[in-house]
Structure 1
Amino acid sequence: MNPSTAFATVVVDELIRSGVREAVLAPGSRSTPLALALAAADRDGRLRLHVRIDERTAGFLAIGLIRGTGLPVPVLTTSGTAVANLYPAVLEASHSGLPLIVLSADRPPELRGTGANQTTDQLKVFGDAVRLFHELGTPSKQLGQVAYWRSSIARAVSAAVGARTADPGPVQLNCPLVEPLVPTDDGDWPEPLDGRTTGPWTSVHATGAQPSAVAPGPKTVVVAGDGASQAARLAAEAGNWPLFAEPSSRARTGPAVISAYRLLLAATSPAATAQAAPSTPGTAAEAVASLGAEIERVIVFGHPTLSRPISKLLARPDVEVIVVAPTGLWPDAAHRAASVVTGLEVIGSDQTDWLDRWLHADQLARAAMDKVLAPVGGRAGAAGGLSGPLVAAVVGEAVGADGMLVVASSNAVRDLDLAPVVPIRTVANRGLAGIDGTLSTAVGAALANAGATHALVGDLAFLHDSNGLVIGPAEPRPDLRIVVLNDNGGGIFATLEQGGGDHADYFERVFGTPHDVDLAALCAATGTPHQLVETADELREVLARTVAGIDVVEVRVDRSAHRELHADLHQAVSQL
């Protein structure tokens, strides 16, 4: 089966699984794969197909079918002016709140703007009239395409019927299709085209629905992303499940927290995952390597974006993913969510040793991490100097579980994620995970906070928003202490692929980006008190002082040591 035929087969099947029973087609060439898939479904009695030669008529026929059945109806057109002729029907659907699904066939993106036949810019051609626009990427045999296609249909139908917004209306799925457009023998497909055993790929519960009951059974973990709230902690504790909570989740507290979850997941061996992992491993290393592989179900709260190990976990085809999201869109970057629910009711708790095993591994991992970060038995940081994770741990401890901490994206929040103590009221701009406006965010949070506020930022985040320290004399000033981890550039890149030896020739200029800025002088320009500290003990002493107004504490760390440090941390945990 060729890519366009596979795409059309999957899309039509998933539409039917999502409740579509009627479909309308205005014929054309580029829409051939989808037209043939709809005709096959009509032949098999899975839906009823209606063909019209005029797109305007086709659109309003779909409107009539929606009004008569109350169900979403797709209308398929070819590319070019055919799509524009649906605009009147789209406007009617928008103002009437009707779930019209526009399937607009298109040429591949590389033909736009080239004068190619029947090719125009169809992206968001209906403007704000649609509740959702999405371009389904050009079909290919890349792994993961089937899950992407099916989950995209689930999102589109959910938006069309207003399941998550109580605002139904039209949606547009733009479908770039490549030749051949008719079925051909193109060799084996790299993954099954099948959907879920029963029902849609993602079962989406409507806003306001009753909480869904979840019982023990599968080996379950709870992932708490940004903004998850205490609901994640309560669910983990009720089910007796491990809790993997990001710093800004506001859920990182209680007896189920696994603070080293990131390193423990990263230590999971591919072989253990492939073999479903032994349930009674012998050594501590085997125990760590198998724990992640044994996970069978993940319950997701909030918006998890922080770590690759979590992303890989949520992408595993052998893991059931349940997303808890009361309203709106839901996080599912890997397109694996089996269900999206508005709330969770945990029925009973896991009575096995599942959580105990994770807690024991976490305890072992923390001890191993401490040895890496403070390899000499005396003062922390005495050997090898200060590091990002060590500074974050000191800051987290000083702020305390109940304090307020604003943390910048990039390395700072990831360093904090490894800390044993993370304040519940940790604030981070994780919506798009940028460093923009971090100091201004901290000032705003501090002004709204009744007590002292701390911020942990990298040097680039500090420089990027240094104007946030420019506050007029008549303006209210908060009590805010800003700790700057200054590694003189883009430290996070040292830990990524770009920091490998193969790219050493241009790494410093293109990614490391040293700036050599005198932060003390910069602070002096705005009248902001500044202090440089050089040891962990000095940092603790400074953080113990009363916060009055805004001040800056600079901690210099060696960027060239980042990659080796993180490698040592991973090795320490994987070789327990």
Structure 2
Amino acid sequence: MITPSLLTATIALSALARAGMEQMVVAPGSRSAPVAYAAAAAEASGALRVHVRIDERSAAFTALGISRSTGRPTAILTTSGTAVGNLLPAVMEASHSGIPLVALTADRPPELRGTGANQTTYQPGVFESFVRAQVDLVPDDQKSAVETLDRALAAAGGDDTTAPGPVHLNLALRDPLYPWAEEDHVFLKNWAEELAAELKENRPARLAHPWAVFDESLVTENLETDTSGLPRDIGRNFRIHDVHGGSIPSPLGENPGKRPTTPDGARAVVMAGDGAGPAAARFAEEAGLPLMAEPSSNARFGKSAVHSYQNVLELNIVDFVDTVVLVGRPTLSRQVAAILQREDVRVLAVRPGPVPWFEEGRRDEEVVHTFQEALELLGPVRDNWFELWEATGIAACDALRTQANSTPILTGPHVAHAVWDACAADGAVLVAGSSNPIRDLDLVAWPDDPVAVVANRGVSGIDGTVATAHGVALGTGRPVRVFLGDLTLLHDAGSLLVGEGEEIPDVQFVVLNDKGGGIFGKLEHGAVAEDERYTGTVERFFGTPHNVSLPDLCAAYGVEYSEANTAIELAALFAAPLRGRRVIEIPIDRAGLREFHKGIRGAAQDAAREYLAKNPIKA
């Protein structure tokens, strides 16, 4: 007789592999041991790739990065007890981003729950608010177990009414928890080889969703277009000529031609938020509309992308906007959020299916399923509307560059610009940390060259960024450049630990080190700190100063370290091949951060305002 816990483990892993899982992450533990032994056998046969991490939170975000960058379900295996609770941040991010993460948790069998059994809590339902399906499996019947798991995993891909997202598979495992008889050894080997042969013949399709995952166009080489007309693939060597050369299928059909304009046409803009995808850029260009694209939209390129759009949105030109074509999820700009809330602005939200981050009725908007529907509702565009936005954005951008370059030291925007250019040049995937880095990118990443960008914008936390970057590199097989702050690195420093024998991805961490939380100085708290009654409070509770030595931290984890204090030094580091793992520290001073940003934004807005004064908009 096969040990029951091993049989349960193989049932679960077979279901996951048939649902499209190619990689999984294992955190060590005793109760989860049967699944670990099965995973090892599956890896030996070539059926799965397995990664091991000692910290469950790090493991979960590694799995999240793999799923986000591939569109495939990825499981994180944990033992019972508090190990399960460590998955919650990644499960929350997966839920709000629509990522098919699988929490595969081992548990005590029901007869031991509530008895004081060691390392036991109540695990069923622990992620209830965030998962698309949850299963508490005690498989006494193999057929029913397979059917139960298949139904749960199908929910990860979403359907006509539910967005994709994470699922929770809780496996109640009874002793013994290891292969102890010869029959067990033979069973595991045969099972793994049969699974590998099955997958070789029929590797399941992705569970990709256009709003949920890093666009596959930047990962794989085959061209696919889904039924909504939104492209899934545009090739590994993604460059702007691919767009204009036709490698991205037109979202408006073949030969859409030049859009008509009229003196009283629509004054519309395209807002491309997180996950919008390259089709949003193609649509904006073909529709003749100005495009405001966040970095993680993966639509920030092409002729229609407006430079320095946040500064332009501060001016009276925004008062003339009557329609917004919304693609993806806007997460960065208060100016964009303000437009979407205006009662006099019509919002056409292009969504081919349900999304995980929006509840119907919470904002007044018209949902359309294709870009063609949006265009039909939009009608002709006003004469010279795009040209006005384009020129205003260029004026703002040029002034911002000039003002920023007047400072003799490196700043966040300088580094953001250099990081974007480096990724455009060498094809590295850019993982953007939350807080200041992604906002610096949004401010100065010029949309002339496309860059593949991944960011955890589901709930926009700084946690798990290091692990997510590892996962993106493992998922895509491409080098990754991470732009992040010092607190983001320190918050997830434990994810730098990769055990002996584990696959080491190519990841470069570009760290803006201002010895604390610089973003708060740019927010309202920076103004409060100018009042001497609150200076110390703001510094302690928001600035959170520290004196961690990054060279020592890197040495402890076996990560290469470099420091850059000038643009020339940074360029030289970016010119070298991106191999292995390296931290590049850029020391900056946050004391003048608030005034610096006021200066560059003021210069940009003054220049844009001057241009608009010379080229007034007619009502």
Fold shared by both chains (TM-score > 0.5): yes
Secondary structure class of the residue paired with 1:299:
strand
Q: 3-state DSSP class of the match of 1:490?
A: coil
Give the unaligned 5+ runs of structure 2: 1-124, 133-158, 165-225, 231-250, 253-258, 608-619
User: What secondary structure is seen at the aligned counterpart in 2 of 1:235?
Assistant: helix
Aligned to 2:418: 394
Mapped partners of 2:337, 2:267: distance in 1: 18
Maintained 8 Å contact 2:266/2:382: no
Q: Distance in 1 between matches of 2:160 and 2:503?
A: 43
In 2, Cα distance between the equivalents of 1:320 and 1:391?
A: 37
The residue aligned with 2:20 is none
Native 8 Å contact 2:420 2:451 kept in 1: no
- Which runs of no fewer than 5 residues in structure 1 stay unpaired? 1-123, 132-161, 168-206, 269-289, 376-382
**Are residues 1:420 and 2:445 paired?**
yes
CA distance in 1, matches of 2:291, 2:601: 20
**1:447 Cα shift?**
2.0
After TM superposition, give the deviation of residue 164 of structure 1 in Å: 3.5
Letter in 1 for 2:414: L
Q: RMSD across aligned C-alpha pairs, in angstroms?
A: 3.0
Could you tell me how far apart the structure 1 residues matched to 2:482 and 2:356 are? 29
Structure-2 change in CA distance of 1:210 and 1:524 (3 Å): closer
Q: Deviations over 1:151-176 (max 9, x none)?
A: xxxxxxxxxxx973499xxxxxxxxx
Aligned AA (2:519): I
The answer as to 2:595 corresponding to 1:564 is: yes
1:294 corresponding residue in structure 2: 320
* Deviation of the 1:497 alpha carbon: 0.4
Number of paired residues? 353
Aligned residue identity for 1:564:
E
Distance 2:300 2:321 in 1: 20
The secondary structure found in structure 1 opposite 2:591 is: helix
- Cα pair 1:470 1:526 within 8 Å, conserved: yes
Distance 1:454 1:166 in 2: 29
Could you say which residue in structure 1 is the equivalent of 2:270? 222
Counterpart CA distance in 2 for 1:166 and 1:291 is 35
Q: What are the Cα deviations for residues 401-429 of structure 1, in whole angstroms up to 9, with x where unaligned? A: 64311110111100011123464311100
| Structure 2 CA distance for partners of 1:504 and 1:541, relative to 1, 3 Å | same
The residue type paired with residue 241 of structure 1 is L
Q: Using the TM superposition, give the Cα deviation of residue 516 of structure 1 relative to its aligned residue in structure 2, in angstroms.
A: 1.1
Deviates more, 1:455-464 or 1:563-572: 563-572
Partner of 1:264: 312
Which one has more relative contact order, counting CA pairs under 8 Å at least 6 apart? 2
Opposite residue 415 of structure 1, the aligned amino acid is: D
2:338 corresponds to 1:307? no
Larger Rg: 1
SS at 2:586 equivalent: strand
> Residues of 2 paired with 1:507 and 1:487: CA distance?
15
Aligned AA (1:388): G
Deviation >6 Å, runs of 4+: 207-216
After TM superposition, the structure 1 = structure 2 runs for residues 125-204 of structure 1, keeping only pairs within 5 Å, are 164-165=161-162
In the TM superposition, what are the counterparts of 1:72-151 in structure 2 within 5 Å? none
Which secondary structure state, in structure 1, belongs to the residue aligned with residue 332 of structure 2? coil
Structure 1 residues 165 and 480: CA distance shift in structure 2, 3 A: closer
User: How far did 1:263 drift?
Assistant: 1.3
3-state SS of paired residue (1:321): strand
Q: Deviations over 1:311-340 (max 9, x none)?
A: 111111211111112222475699443211
Q: TM-score scaled by structure 1?
A: 0.57
Partner of 1:410: 435
CA deviation string 1:448-483 (max 9, x = no partner)? 334422111110110011111100120111111110
Q: Per the alignment, do residues 477 and 371 of structure 1 end up closer, same or farther by CA in structure 2, a change over 3 Å counting?
A: same
1:359 match: secondary structure: helix
The residue aligned with 1:536 is 567
8 Å contact 1:164–1:329 — kept in the other structure? Answer: no
Any conservation in 2 of the 1:459–1:484 contact (CA below 8 Å)?
yes
3-state SS of the aligned residue for 2:365? strand
The separation in 1 between residues aligned to 2:395 and 2:524, in whole angstroms, is 28
SS in 2 for 1:560: coil
Matches of 1:294 and 1:318, distance apart in 2: 10
In the alignment, which residue of structure 2 is the partner of 1:5? none
Contact residue 244 and residue 257 of structure 1 kept, 8 A? yes
* CA 1:310–1:215: 2 relative to 1, 3 Å: farther
Aligned to 1:485: 512
2:293 alignment counterpart: 245
Aligned-partner Cα distance in 2 for 1:331–1:528: 36
Per the alignment, residue 320 of structure 1 pairs with 346
Deviation at 1:342, TM superposition (A): 1.8
Contact 1:323/1:331 (8 A) holds in 2: no
Distance change in 2, residues 1:420/1:407 (3 Å): closer
* TM-score, scaled to structure 2: 0.53
- 1:290-325 CA deviation, whole Å, 9 max, x = no partner? 321111111111111111111111111211111112
Distance, in Å, in 1 between the alignment partners of 2:394 and 2:229 is 38
Counterpart position of 1:203:
none
For 2:598 and 2:353, locate their aligned partners in 1 and report how far apart those are by CA, in whole Å.
40
1:440/1:534 Cα in 2 relative to 1: closer, same or farther (>3 Å)? same
The answer to whether the 8 Å contact 1:298/1:319 transfers is yes
* Distance in 1 between residues matched to 2:452 and 2:600, nearest whole Å: 27
1:442 aligned onto 2:469: yes
Asked whether 1:526 is paired with 2:557, we answer yes
Match of 1:35? none
In percent, how many aligned pairs have the same letter?
A: 39
Task: After TM superposition, give the deviation of residue 224 of structure 1 in Å.
Answer: 0.6
Q: Could you say if the C-alpha distance between residues 458 and 511 of structure 1 is closer, same or farther in structure 2, counting changes exceeding 3 Å?
A: same
